Structure 1
Amino acid sequence: MKLPGTMRVFERGWLSSNNILFTGAHETALVDSGYATHAAQTLALVSHALQGRKLDRLVNTHLHSDHCGGNAALQAEYACRTSIPAAEADKVRSWNEDALTYKATGQQCPRFTFDDTISPGDLLTLGDMTWQAMGAPGHDPHSLILYCADERVLISADALWQNGFGVVFPELEGEPGFGDVRATLELIASLDVKLVIPGHGAPFTEVGKALETAFSRVEYFMGDPARNAQNAVKVLLKFLLLEKQSIALEELEPMLTGMYLFQESNRRYLKKDASELAHWAVAQLVRAGAAEVKAGRLVNKD
């Protein structure tokens, strides 16, 4: 299934979320802006695709750093109207990096502002198409997905990927999340969707198969919540490695233990010595082919 002519997807590497650019007759818009260290690349991609037009609007599905880290750069370049999930407004207004999870994950996000908010049920015009915002808690309690019924296209953010979904972060802090993931998947299953544009990875049409995989995965996590914590630890380390590309092995433990979510994952579920857990995470990435150890450093492998 082809994308509508007013849409373009920039499929990014895993450090950044995908970006979706809309070029409507009267307004241009971008959904999600990638990670901070990729901001120059994001600006170049957007500028090239706009062909001299300005970016009028920026929309965030949620405010994890890989989805909004380019906001500040885009605002500086285009003074674009910025719309964020309504539940995050106070955190952004006061720039509470603890509540926004940037400190908790050890990730960067330059401060940005917003002009208005989006709530579940709101209708947005993007690329001359009508999109409905829907609440998609689970991976993030305040995440939104965007659905265009006329085109049967879903922008799923991290609620549904071709092979799963994002880390269920609320569970790491002892808050319910698995039930929300399942409810969000049931919502998606109730929609007439022919094309999914995920937050990471290529757009796909095998929606039923992806949902089957995602339902199976959440049941797996519900059977033993420590599995979600293990996955989170690996993801947090891989994200660090994607950003830095190479980390001295002796620096890993203090870097990881400085992350609140690493600490909580260990305290609540894994209950390992911090050094042991850091070594375990390294071994997991190496075994998966996502990293290698060279000359006393952990080196990223794509």
Structure 2
Amino acid sequence: MNKSTIVFFERKFPSANMVLVKDELPILIDTGFGSDVKETERLITEAGVSPEELHLIVNTHYHSDHVGGNFYLQQNYGVKIAAHKWEAELINVGDSEACSAEWLDQPVEPYQVDRKLSNNEEIHTGSRTLQVLHTPGHTLGHISLYEPEEKTLICGDLFHNNDIGWLNIFREGVSSIQRSLESLERLSMLPIEKAYSGHGPQIENPMASIDAARSRFEKWLTMPEKISWHACKRIFSFTLIMKDGLAKEEIDYYLLQCGWFQDFARYSFQVQPEEFTKILLDEMIRSGAARWQDNQLIATAPYHAPVKEWLDQNVKPKEWKAFLKSY
């Protein structure tokens, strides 16, 4: 392989961004949403690495938009997968809480984690070394990767160029905000010249983005309702992206089936779920997160909708048992 390079792929929803380390032992960090796997394959191939050449897939965390291509690449090319040990344990036993997929109502095809990562572990790609940094907050097993030669940080969904990852207080704990702040503090100690997050463009000024993220989290400590609003709008927007919109008459029925909606309504906002549907819809429109189009509520973020046939499979970890037995 030619001189080692780090290639960043900025992707539309529902897929998260990816990073490819081209080296003697090529590494792909995150694999996008499951319905976009052919595009995932095309992107890395056009970058000069064929899927069978991949030495390892590393997941920053186990949400569907980051791990969706794992199944295809593992099954078809035998690519090994690495993730933080806490999330790996849930994945490898097919726990119903794995990927928070059931609670979020997001399909994830089955995969197995071959390498369980711990804080300060190193991943060697040939001429480079990636340092594994446990940066919990967005999820308990969230990791960032740091490449010291080029002072490059890959930070998943801990923070973005002008935003932060949503916090799942019902699955990751109410202290996820404190964990996020500690994770940011740790990263702020590193010399960082380039940073890539799970969504949006390359982070042009990593230290400024870290400072902005820290400031926003600190404000949330005194206004916990903002944590829940941020999460609800992100989760519902992702649903609208996956489903390419929801008809007005479908919305109430759909939301009332969702674990995340029930929890936020009852415990964060202390209203009955039936009352919260209108409150959430009004806020989605007010904030510009969604809009009405021909009686359909659609997300305003740029996206590429999954093929309906793929989405209709609706695979969740509770249905992984047969795959796990054959692995």
- TM-score normalised by the chain length of structure 1: 0.92
Distance 1:175 1:7, change over 3 A: same
Aligned to 1:280: 279
> Do the aligned partners of 2:91 and 2:98 also contact (CA within 8 Å) in 1?
no
> Do the aligned partners of 1:154 and 1:197 also contact (CA within 8 Å) in 2?
yes
Question: Hey, what's the Cα distance between the residues in 2 that align with 1:171 and 1:128?
Answer: 41
Question: Hey, what's the Cα distance between the residues in 1 that align with 2:17 and 2:172?
Answer: 27
Question: Hey, what's the Cα distance between the residues in 1 that align with 2:176 and 2:160?
Answer: 17
> Do the aligned partners of 2:261 and 2:273 also contact (CA within 8 Å) in 1?
no
SS in 2 for 1:239: helix
Aligned to 1:142: 141
User: What is the Cα deviation at residue 127 of structure 1?
Assistant: 6.3
In the TM superposition, what are the counterparts of 1:48-197 in structure 2 within 5 Å?
Answer: 48-50=46-48, 52=50, 54-126=53-125, 128-170=127-169, 174-197=173-196
Question: Hey, what's the Cα distance between the residues in 2 that align with 1:187 and 1:148?
Answer: 15
Q: Which has the higher contact order (CA 8 A, sep 6+)?
A: 2
User: What is the Cα deviation at residue 177 of structure 1?
Assistant: 1.1
Distance 1:6 1:221, change over 3 A: same
Distance 1:219 1:251, change over 3 A: same
Aligned to 2:225: 226
SS in 2 for 1:100: helix
Query: Which of 44, 47, 60 lines up with 1:46 in the alignment?
Result: 44
SS in 1 for 2:169: helix
User: What is the Cα deviation at residue 6 of structure 1?
Assistant: 1.4
Distance 1:79 1:245, change over 3 A: same
SS in 1 for 2:275: helix
For 2:185, the aligned partner's letter is: E
Aligned to 2:28: 30
Distance 1:173 1:260, change over 3 A: farther
> Do the aligned partners of 1:32 and 1:61 also contact (CA within 8 Å) in 2?
yes
Matched, 1:249 2:248: yes
Question: Hey, what's the Cα distance between the residues in 2 that align with 1:218 and 1:276?
Answer: 28
Aligned to 2:288: 289
User: What is the Cα deviation at residue 33 of structure 1?
Assistant: 0.6
For 2:46, the aligned partner's letter is: H
**Greater displacement, 68-77 / 273-282:** 273-282
Distance 1:98 1:258, change over 3 A: farther
SS in 1 for 2:19: strand
Aligned to 2:264: 265
**Greater displacement, 254-263 / 103-112:** 254-263
Aligned to 2:209: 210
Question: Hey, what's the Cα distance between the residues in 2 that align with 1:173 and 1:31?
Answer: 22
User: What is the Cα deviation at residue 5 of structure 1?
Assistant: 5.0
Per-residue CA distance 1:185-216 (angstroms, 9 max, x = gap): 11111111111111111112312221221012
User: What is the Cα deviation at residue 128 of structure 1?
Assistant: 2.6
User: What is the Cα deviation at residue 164 of structure 1?
Assistant: 2.6
User: What is the Cα deviation at residue 281 of structure 1?
Assistant: 2.4
Question: Hey, what's the Cα distance between the residues in 2 that align with 1:124 and 1:51?
Answer: 18
Per-residue CA distance 1:130-173 (angstroms, 9 max, x = gap): 11101101111111111112211111111121123211113677
Moved runs in structure 1, 4+ residues, more than 6 A? none
User: What is the Cα deviation at residue 19 of structure 1?
Assistant: 0.7
Question: Hey, what's the Cα distance between the residues in 2 that align with 1:173 and 1:275?
Answer: 25
Per-residue CA distance 1:245-281 (angstroms, 9 max, x = gap): 1211222223223222222222221122323322232
Q: Identity over the aligned pairs, expressed in percent?
A: 27
Q: How many residues align?
A: 298
Aligned to 2:316: none
User: What is the Cα deviation at residue 83 of structure 1?
Assistant: 1.0
Per-residue CA distance 1:49-71 (angstroms, 9 max, x = gap): 23556222111111111110110
Query: Over aligned residue pairs, what C-alpha RMSD do you find?
Result: 1.9
For 1:37, the aligned partner's letter is: S
Structure 1: which 5+ runs fail to align? none
**Greater displacement, 271-280 / 100-109:** 271-280
Question: Hey, what's the Cα distance between the residues in 1 that align with 2:249 and 2:273?
Answer: 13
> Do the aligned partners of 2:247 and 2:297 also contact (CA within 8 Å) in 1?
yes
